[in-house]
Amino acid sequence: MSLTKTDKAIILTIWNKIATQADSVGTEALERLFASFPQTKTYFPHFDLHPGSAQLKAHGAKVVSAIGDAVKHIDNVGSALSKLSELHAYILRVDPVNFKFLNHCMLVTLAVHFPNDLTAETHAAWDKFLALVTAVLTEKYR
């Protein structure tokens, strides 16, 4: 799956908006994940998963920051996220299906925060980008 030049430009534009509200976007995406796909909570037995908890906020910020790293290295996401890929595959052993759930929740969060920006084109480009991030984070399973 490759991103076109147009995709990359669109991703950068929406990322610049996300970056202004990064922490709340990340936290909300996680809150949606745990509410809509409660099985994902099993990976976080050591977290306080109540909406708005300090741990959720801190983790939401980390997830969005990693996505920011991927945006910054959009032509080389594999090496930018290589450590994170090892963490999720070898240590956390997150079942890859869960990435689809998180991507969906992230997209819904973007739609809520940036309703005017999430055009069909932006939706499609962002979807492709998150699929690329997922491919990198789950590649060590193969």
Site for ligand HEM in 101-120 (CB under 6 A): 102
By the rule CB under 6 A, 94 interacts with ligand HEM: yes
Would you say 60 or 116 has its CB closer to ligand HEM? 60
Structure-token pair, residue 81: 């996220």
Q: Please list, residue by residue across 98-117, b when 16 or more beta carbons sit within 10 angstroms of its beta carbon and e when fewer do.
A: bbebbbbbbbbbbeebbeeb
Cβ–Cβ under 8 Å, residues 103 and 36: no
End-to-end Cα distance, the chain: 17
Burial of 1 (0-12, 13-18, 19+ CB in 10 A): exposed
Number of residues lying near ligand HEM (CB under 6 A) = 17
66 binds ligand HEM (CB under 6 A): yes
Kindly state whether residue 92 participates in binding ligand HEM, applying the rule CB under 6 A. yes
Kindly identify the residues of this chain, within the stretch 122-141, that bind ligand HEM according to CB under 6 A: 133, 137
Q: Which of 84, 110, 118, 132 binds ligand HEM (CB under 6 A)?
A: 84
- Min dist CB 22 to ligand HEM, Å, is 12
Residues numbered 35-64 forming contacts with ligand HEM, rule: CB under 6 A: 40, 43-44, 62-63
Minimum Å distance from CB 92 to ligand HEM?
Answer: 5
Half-sphere exposure of 112 (CA within 13 A, CB side): 13
94 and 6 Cβ atoms separated by less than 8 Å: no
Q: Which residues bind ligand HEM (CB under 6 A)?
A: 40, 43-44, 62-63, 66-67, 84, 87-88, 92, 94, 98-99, 102, 133, 137
